[in-house]
Amino acid sequence: MGLCVCVCVCVCRPVTQSQCNQFYILSVIQQNVEEDIEDLDHYEMKEEEPVDGKKSEDDGIEKENLAILEKIRKNQRQDHLNGAVSGSVQASDRLMKELREIYRSQSYKTGIYSVELVNDSLYEWHVKIRTVDPDSPLHSDLQVMKEKEGVDYILLSFSYKDNFPFDPPFVRVVSPVLSGGYVLGGGALCMELLTKQGWSSAYSIESVIMQINATLVKGKARVQFGANKNQYNLARAQQSYKSLVQIHEKNGWYTPPKEDG
């Protein structure tokens, strides 16, 4: 009888206050651990989202332009593996940054100008100026050219060297043939900012494009319909540019103002 009572007492006796406190503490700890694990999972997911989205670099860039940037990166990696690296790391990094900023630009997105890489080269660009001041004679000429030839833009060539951005790009008009607008023989441009003397590594390529746009209008550029299109070529443009630099190094840049050439 006593044994039975003892067993019943051992098994069925009430839990003490101390034991209740221990059970409660253990229960709270277990609950907090489970909540912490859930919070950690949620935190890790939130941390991964910006990585997938690449928000810092690619935000505001259209998918087709992101594909171009990725193609350039792949080409650069392949060239590196093949030992056929062109350009310099400094110039390539800056040009990638310039291209990325252009793809984000409202002026680019609204069609004021467009940019294409020549043969996928980061160092050779074709820039098409598609919109100029609607009150300018040049705008009227572009409308006529569109009706006659199906082309309504001014095509520019931008060439970059390994030491970019410390030297300016070489810029020339490819087509159409223009008179006025500070356009020289071969299509070179008379603008101080495109020379070593007037260039700054802080200038963005978009600002250069927009300045050329404004300079053509201010210089009263006109399309020369019927002109020999072969008169614009790289060799003649380089010679005109060389002569331009020599003249201005000797005499300075007085008139027109610096931004106009």
Per-residue pLDDT tens digits for 129-179: 999 999 999 999 999 999 999 999 999 999 999 999 999 999 999 999 999
Domain boundaries, the chain: 89-260
Does residue 176 have a cis bond before it (omega within 30 degrees)? yes
CB 179 within 8 A of CB 99: no
Contacts 24+ apart (CB under 8 A), 69-73: 69/96, 69/99, 69/100, 69/103, 71/120, 72/96, 72/99, 72/117, 72/120, 72/122
Share of the chain above pLDDT 90, in %: 64
pLDDT tops 50 at residue 247? yes
Query: Which positions are annotated as active-site residues?
Result: 190
What global pTM score does this model have? 0.75
DSSP state string for 95-135: HHHHHHHHHH-HHHHTTSEEEEEGGG-TTEEEEEE----TT
Query: Which of these, 136, 209, 216, 211, lies nearest to 176 by C-alpha position?
Result: 216
Task: Report the topology of domain 89-260.
Answer: Ubiquitin Conjugating Enzyme (3.10.110)
- Torsions phi, psi of 129, nearest 5? -85, 110
Rounded Cα–Cα distance for residues 131 and 3 (Å): 104
Whole-number pLDDT of residue 23: 44
